[in-house]
């Protein structure tokens, strides 16, 4: 089965309601609205949110609150172990196959627990469930296939990931 792809744009630079530019550190609210087999992201400032959340197109859809991050520019050798795990997640998502999907799932759980990514929605597609994650530092959206833990050889996956992290260090 080909990997499930879903294009979720990054946060817009301005509020969809009043068109004011988001500033660093400002809170915003994002909503995913499904329209004809397509998912559209709409972002609102904290001031407009109480008014627009009542709109029937917005109400009942997946939404979350975030904060506009500061820009960070880092070199690969300066990355922490968690940030390297995030890079491994991106690499696993680019590959096809069972081992890559398993590693992506475990890395997703790890990074969610470490609060580098946040689960925003679960989407069923082609008989499988996919978790939609947001990378909190960059607002990039990642899609990871959800696999029941009972179907995983967790120790083996942990060893493979650990070896890859050691190679990167």
- Tens of pLDDT, residue by residue over 21-31, are 888 888 898 88
> Which secondary structure element, helix H or strand E, spans residue 38, and what is its range?
strand 38-45
Residue 76: predicted pLDDT? 43
- Please report the pLDDT score of residue 6 as a whole number: 61
Q: Is the pLDDT of residue 153 over 80?
A: yes
Strands (E), 36-139: 38-45, 63-67, 117-125, 128-135
Give 167 or 85, the one with higher predicted confidence. 85
Helices 98-113 and 81-94: angle between axes, nearest 10 degrees: 150
Mean pLDDT, residues 74-94 taken together: 77
- Order the strands of the 128-135 sheet from edge to edge: 117-125, 128-135, 141-145
């Amino acid at each position: 089965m080909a990997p499930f792809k879903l294009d979720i744009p990054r946060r817009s630079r301005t509020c969809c309601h009043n068109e004011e530019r988001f500033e660093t550190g400002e809170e915003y609210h994002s909503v995913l609205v499904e329209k004809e087999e397509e998912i559209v992201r709409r972002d609102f400032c904290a001031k407009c949110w109480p008014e627009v959340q009542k709109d029937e197109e917005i109400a009942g859809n997946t939404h979350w609150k975030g904060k506009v991050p500061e820009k960070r520019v880092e070199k690969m050798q300066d990355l922490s172990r968690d940030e390297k795990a995030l890079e491994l997640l991106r690499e696993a998502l680019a590959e096809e196959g069972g081992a890559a999907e398993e590693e992506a799932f475990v890395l997703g759980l790890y990074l969610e627990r470490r609060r580098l990514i946040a689960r925003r929605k679960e989407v069923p597609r082609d008989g499988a469930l996919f978790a939609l994650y947001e990378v909190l530092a960059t607002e990039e959206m990642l899609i990871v296939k959800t696999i029941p833990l009972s179907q995983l050889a967790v120790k083996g996956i942990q060893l493979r990931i650990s070896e890859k992290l050691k190679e990167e260090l």
